[in-house]
Amino acid sequence: MKHFKFTIIACLLVFFGCKSTKGNKTLTTPKKNILFLMVDDLRPELNIYGHNQIISPNIDALANSGVTFNRAYCNVPVCGASRASLLTGIRPTSNRFLTYFSSIKKETPNVLNLVQHLKNQGYTTISNNKITHLKNDIDEWDEEWYPYKNGWRNYISEENIGLEKNGKHGYPYENIDVKDDAYNDGKTANKSIEDLKQLKADGNPFFLAVGFVKPHLPFNAPKKYWDLYDPKSIELPENLVFPKSAPEIANHKWGELRYYNGIPKKGQVSDAVAKKLIHGYYASVSYVDAQVGKVLRALKNLGLYENTVVVLVGDHGWSLMEHGLWVKHSNFEVALQVPLIISAPNTPSNKRSNSIAELVDLYPTICELANIPIPPHLDGESLVEALQRPSKIFKNTALARYQKGETLIADHLFYTEWQRKDKTIAKMLYDHSTDPDENRNLAIEASFAGTVDSLSVILNNRLKLIK
């Protein structure tokens, strides 16, 4: 119990004594280019994060040239809301940024978004493929490009195309022997390389945002990436049953996957299908890794790398049958944790930071690295100090929410509570120092009542500060 009390005190100190990075803080160097790589549904399922079954040499190489954040979290585990929060720099609330179709234009029409701010500072701004979830949700792009000629699911097999033409979903995976640019993410890499050539010729600072859709469902990737993995080596997670101690409100029906052919409308998939899904996810990660590598090689070959900030991030996590769940849409860590790698001029290389980072922190971080003013409306904190001194902890709390569930990450403690009509109806507490897979809900144990009460106070005080 002493350990828990110390943690709570530390969290309180962080809350009441944290340093703000808002204001017009800038570096003294000229403006940097920004290459922003966002990967849809990418959890930290990468070799650099210790998942040695994954083949991701290009992202690993990027990590070797920059700082990898071991503890980065989205603020809401659903595509549209997460991206809207990141690009506006403000947190989701009970009234904004709730769903996949969250709109920056409609929900925050008077907020200075990141693209608009960079545009005002003289940047050329280009969006390739999925950066915002909704098309035309930001007007300030100099160019907003999408490769979706045959739909965003981008099937190639005659069987899946036939199912789509008949008004049905195809299968949740596809394994076809085609070139990389037969699929949209390969086209996206090619387009981004051509953009880099033109941007170099133009000579203006740029914000090139490249959105890769895989490993989002369906797991469509060229056969050579599927062949990287032996189907016999694919393993299911150990905690593949929803924990009895967790509240039922933390469970969900993983509806996004239910739409696909071969997936039951109720109940769990078979072990064989589960392993095929995991295999498809791995193949999709390796496919995207190859596209990231192509773009990064072009950046270097064009002589742009030394003056470019490179950010690679996932928009939220994804469940691969942990707790019996699939997709995102939960307050468990597997849906909240994201990969985050930042490689920037004059910052350390091949380093890791255990300082907590949130996606809402990226707006001020990009501003400071680009040497432009940091707008006062931002809810996040710049991560530049963590980049410059990665061995030091600058931040040990984060907030996330999904629907009615509010999560406080405080050091190694993950605390969530759900409210209905101003009344708390359920709680979860996991201690990652002893239970990293979140199988034992301490919130229902009497011996942790004091810890729960303290965390609840911190959580609700933090929520009151969000505008």
The tens digit of pLDDT for each residue in 189-209 reads 999 999 999 999 999 999 999
Taking only the tens place, the pLDDT of each residue in 294-310 is 999 999 999 999 999 99
Least confident of 9-13, 117-121, 139-143, 389-393: 9-13
pLDDT band at 358 (very low <50, low <70, confident <90, very high): very high
Give 68's Cβ-side CA count (13 Å radius).
19
Least confident of 241-245, 337-341, 376-380, 447-451: 241-245
Average pLDDT score over residue span 323-338: 97
What does the pLDDT read at residue 303? 98
pLDDT band at 311 (very low <50, low <70, confident <90, very high): very high
Cβ(382)–Cβ(361) below 8 Å: yes
Average pLDDT score over residue span 53-70: 97
Residue in the structure block whose two tokens are 């994804």: 318
Q: Is the dihedral angle over the CA atoms 192, 194, 208, 389 positive or is it negative?
A: positive
Cβ(138)–Cβ(117) below 8 Å: no
Per the residue annotation, which of 133, 169, 216, 323 is the catalytic one?
133
Taking only the tens place, the pLDDT of each residue in 215-241 is 999 999 999 999 999 999 999 999 999
What does the pLDDT read at residue 435? 97
Q: Which strands make up the sheet holding 33-39, listed edge to edge?
A: 143-145, 124-129, 206-212, 33-39, 308-314, 340-343, 67-69, 351-353
DSSP string across 235-259: ---S--S--TTS-GGG----HHHHT
Our answer to whether residue 412 is catalytic in this structure is no
Dist CA 329 CA 332 (whole Å): 9
Rg (CA), the chain: 21
Taking only the tens place, the pLDDT of each residue in 235-268 is 999 999 999 999 999 999 998 999 999 999 999 9
Residue 142: phi and psi, rounded to 5, are: -65, -30
pLDDT band at 152 (very low <50, low <70, confident <90, very high): confident
CA 21 to chain centre: 22
Dist CA 14 CA 374 (whole Å): 22
In order of start, what are the domains of the chain with their CATH numbers?
1-18+395-467 (3.30.1120.10), 19-392 (3.40.720.10)
* Strand 67-69 relative to strand 351-353, pairing: parallel
What does the pLDDT read at residue 344? 97
Q: Whole-number mean pLDDT of the chain?
A: 93
Our answer to whether residue 11 is catalytic in this structure is no
Residue 270 has pLDDT above 60, yes or no: yes
Least confident of 107-121, 162-176, 357-371, 425-439: 162-176
Dist CA 274 CA 466 (whole Å): 40
Dist CA 299 CA 107 (whole Å): 35
What does the pLDDT read at residue 29? 58
Closest CA to 48 of 60, 66, 36, 38: 60
Percent of the chain with pLDDT over 90: 89
Dist CA 140 CA 124 (whole Å): 10
- Continuous segment of H or E residues that includes residue 2: helix 2-17
Closest CA to 205 of 121, 306, 303: 121
Residue 337 has pLDDT above 60, yes or no: yes
What does the pLDDT read at residue 86? 98
What does the pLDDT read at residue 255? 87
* Strand 206-212 relative to strand 33-39, pairing: parallel
- Written as one letter, the residue type at 144 is E
Percent of the chain with pLDDT over 70: 94
Taking only the tens place, the pLDDT of each residue in 21-60 is 444 444 445 789 999 999 999 999 999 999 999 999 999 9
Per the residue annotation, which of 79, 169, 329, 367 is the catalytic one?
79
Taking only the tens place, the pLDDT of each residue in 392-406 is 999 999 999 998 999
Residue 4 has pLDDT above 70, yes or no: no
Average pLDDT score over residue span 345-349: 95
Average pLDDT score over residue span 58-83: 98
Residue 7 has pLDDT above 70, yes or no: no
User: What burial letters (b/e) apply to 127-153, b meaning 16+ CB within 10 Å?
Assistant: bbbbbbbbeebbebbeebebbeeeeeb
pLDDT band at 365 (very low <50, low <70, confident <90, very high): very high
| Neighbouring-strand partners of residue 8 | none
Residue 261: phi and psi, rounded to 5, are: -60, 135
Taking only the tens place, the pLDDT of each residue in 133-150 is 999 999 999 999 999 887
